[in-house]
Amino acid sequence: MSEEPLFDPSLKKRKSKKVAFSEDPLGADADPTSPSPAIIEDTTTSGDAVDMGPKTVHEQMKQNGVGEEEGEKKEDEDFKAMFGDLKKKKKKKDIPLDLGDEGSGTSTPTTAPAATEDLDFSDLKKKKKSSKKKAAFDMEAFEKEINESKAKEADDEEVPEGPVEEVDEAELGEDPFAQSGPVGLDSGNEPWLKSDRDYTYQELLHRFYAQLHAANPALLTSAGKRYTIAPPQILREGNKKTIFANIAEICKRMHRQPEHVIQYMFAEMGTTGSVDGSGRLVIKGRFQQKQIEHVLRRYITEYVTCKTCKSPDTLLTKENRIFFMSCESCGSRRSVNAIKTGFQAQVGKRSKNKTG
Amino acid sequence: MNVQNLNAFDPFADEGDPLDNAQDVGSQQNYIHVRIQQRNGRKTLTTLQGLPKEYDAKKLLKAFKKEFACNGTLVDDEEAGQVIQLQGDQRQKISAFLVEEGIPKTTIKIHGF
């Protein structure tokens, strides 16, 4: 079984996969031996979601903006975005580290309000405008009721805002968070503005983002830039070694020292290897592209993406024997875990005790 | 003239490397590491390192062996302490087992490809 791929009992099941890095807090227990999911989560294999920082409403908006707006077309768009320049080999050509556009299908319930809101502010914007006045009137009509009891907030959601809003209404109906605030309303129209009660944080937050996006429509659209790196090119050298050909290119793309990446990979995979004359990495053991990719993803989430703003635009510097990662876009700075090789069991013959 | 407050601590003194003897800076000590290692062919080895002291590694190993239907041993390592070795890729099963036994999932770190 020379060329037989190893450690992958599920290889037959491999589907045409879209490799997109998405910061997905769910879908944790990614079993590396199972077919890699269409969207690779931002979790370690242990299932603990790598803390990529809190999800802001802004991000929710962005993600849902892309996710829900485009709906069916999403796949195609993704493909275009991912493989725009590489039309020939569509599959597995890029590993986009998808920072903004998260798998909307798996979004947590908290994103639901944002979703509807997003629909309002992005693609339905024009239609919404027409219905807005109408809505405002209705709001005024309901004003008294709202002042009477907050429980009536639910009614706000059901205010017929015009026929164009039907889609939204349907979604709001299912929305468990519909009561949490008048999410479907644009800034300035919130019924609670005129009421005497204390505004909730959610309401104010939505109002803020509504106004933010109203003032800067580019925020939602320009956010689609993805972090893509070329997929690792894996060759087999002989029977027991794997060559990772484009590691230099990938390291360059990630702005990391190849030594650091290599150290991490060896520690994670529990193996050793060397760099050959042409800068390729020779790894002992048989590994598949998918497996290498998985390790790289974990490296990226741990050492490349900023935990605060998720930007991959970070620098890794070493001070006092500790690596610090400073973000270029948000300026945050944090220490990262030292790469540590753990216990290495004795495999193979004891006489050639090289791998330990 | 003796102001105790002032001579107690010289803020400008050279402290040396503040992280000199801080072993646990950036360390992974509190984690239970579950690793995988390739053997020959498609065989693998799973190692579990960093089990908290309150768990009896021997008993745990016995439970693992029974539960996962695999063999395994307990290895003493001077750095890592007692390490449980199991045959095959048991990482997800170990994680599930330990979580079920009440070990918080955040302390379990699964390595490997």
Q: What is the pLDDT of residues A236-290, one digit of tens each?
A: 989 889 999 998 889 988 888 888 999 999 988 888 899 998 889 999 888 889 8
Query: Which residue shows structure tokens 């429980």?
Result: A151
Residue A30 has pLDDT above 80, yes or no: no
Residue A4: predicted pLDDT:
44
**A342 — pLDDT class (breaks 50, 70, 90):** confident
Tally Cβ neighbours within 10 Å of residue A17. 15
Residue A98: predicted pLDDT:
47
Residue A54: predicted pLDDT:
46
Question: Minimal CA–CA distance to A299: which of A342, A253, A332, A346?
Answer: A253
**Residues A178 and A109 sit within 8 Å (Cβ to Cβ):** no
Q: The pTM is what?
A: 0.53
Residue A184 has pLDDT above 50, yes or no: no
Residue A62 has pLDDT above 60, yes or no: no
Q: Which regions of A94-185 does DSSP assign to beta strands (E)?
A: 95-98
Least confident of A203-212, A233-242, B1-10, B15-24: B15-24
Asked if the Cβ–Cβ distance from B113 to A7 is below 8 Å, we say yes
Asked if the Cβ–Cβ distance from B111 to A45 is below 8 Å, we say yes
- Summarize the confidence of residues B27-35 as an average pLDDT: 74
Residue A192: predicted pLDDT:
74
Residue A117 has pLDDT above 80, yes or no: no
Least confident of A142-156, A181-195, B43-57: A142-156
Q: Which residue has the higher pLDDT, A77 or A194?
A: A194
Residue A85: predicted pLDDT:
44
Residue B79 has pLDDT above 50, yes or no: yes
The two three-digit tokens of residue A264, written as one number: 């991490």
**Residues B111 and B34 sit within 8 Å (Cβ to Cβ):** yes
- Summarize the confidence of residues B33-54 as an average pLDDT: 88
Residue A354: predicted pLDDT:
52
In chain A, residues with a C-beta closer than 8 Å to the C-beta of B88 are none
Q: Which residue has the higher pLDDT, A54 or A56?
A: A56
Average confidence score pLDDT of chain A: 63
What is d(CA A21, CA A174) in angstroms, rounded to the nearest whole number?
29
Question: Minimal CA–CA distance to A43: which of A302, A216, A304?
Answer: A302
Tally Cβ neighbours within 10 Å of residue A26. 14
Residue A58: predicted pLDDT:
58
Distance from CA of B2 to the nearest CA of A (A): 37
What is d(CA B48, CA B67) in angstroms, rounded to the nearest whole number?
15
Provide ipTM, 2 decimals. Answer: 0.72
What is d(CA A112, CA A317) in angstroms, rounded to the nearest whole number?
39
Instruction: Looking at mean pLDDT, say which of A19-28, A143-152, A186-195, A225-234 comes out highest.
Output: A225-234
Residue A56: predicted pLDDT:
56
Residue B16: predicted pLDDT:
58
**A3 — pLDDT class (breaks 50, 70, 90):** very low
Q: Which of B18, B25, B35 sits opposite A270 (nearest CB)?
A: B35
Asked if the Cβ–Cβ distance from B113 to A323 is below 8 Å, we say no
In chain B, residues with a C-beta closer than 8 Å to the C-beta of A1 are 41-42
